[in-house]
Each structure stands twice: as C-alpha cells, then as structure tokens.
Amino acid sequence: MEDLNRVGVLLVALLLVWIAAPAGVAEVKGYDAGRWFWACGLVGVVVLAFLPRLRPGRPDADRWRAVGQRAGAVLSGVQLAVFAAACAWAARPSR
C-alpha cells in the first residue's frame, strides 16, 4: 500500500508540472498564463519556444499576443477534450 501511495504522489507531482510548465513559460514570455494553463504540457512549451518574447516597445506585440493567446486557448481545449474523453472511457461500466 505504501508503494501505491508513492506512485500516487509521483503522479500528482507529474500532473502539476505538466499543467504548470506551459503557464510558467507563457508568463515569462509575456503571454496570458491562464490561456496556457492546460496547454498540453510539453507540446505547449515547444509551441511557446517558437513564439517571440513580448516586449512593450515591440511594434508587432499586439499581433503576436493575439496569435499566442489563440494557440494557448486551442491547445488548452485539446488537452481538456482529451482529459474528458479519458475520464469518460475510464468511467464506462465494465462488461
């Protein structure tokens, strides 16, 4: 039972890192962390790596902010849909 508790704690820690990594990187780069909160973990971080850092004096900052916010929202939607499908599959009655 103790091993099961360790595995559970490890899974929760992994989930927190999976969720928080894209939000943290988005915040550092100047994007809205809320839109990137559920953004597919490592995939979200990779997408953010290709987006420029937003600086106040940058002439195209508004355009890049809109692109980044849309990408974060789409990836978050994908992640939540996958999570909902996995929960529905796990909760199905056994035969």
pTM summary value: 0.72
Q: Which residues of 10-25 are buried (b: 16+ CB within 10 A; e: fewer)?
A: eeeeeeeebbebbbbb
User: Which amino acid, residue 19?
Assistant: I
Structure tokens at 16: 């927190």
95 lies in a domain? Answer: no
Query: Tens digits of per-residue pLDDT, 42-65?
Result: 888 889 999 999 888 888 888 999
Q: What is the Cα–Cα distance from 71 to 24, expressed in whole angstroms?
A: 15
Chain-centroid distance of CA 69 in Å reads 12
Mean pLDDT of 66-94: 86
Residue 71 has pLDDT above 70, yes or no: yes
Please give the torsion angle defined by the CA atoms of residues 64, 67, 73 and 74, in that order, rounded to the nearest 10 degrees: -150
**65 lies in which domain range?**
2-90
Total number of domains in the chain: 1
23 lies in a domain? Answer: yes
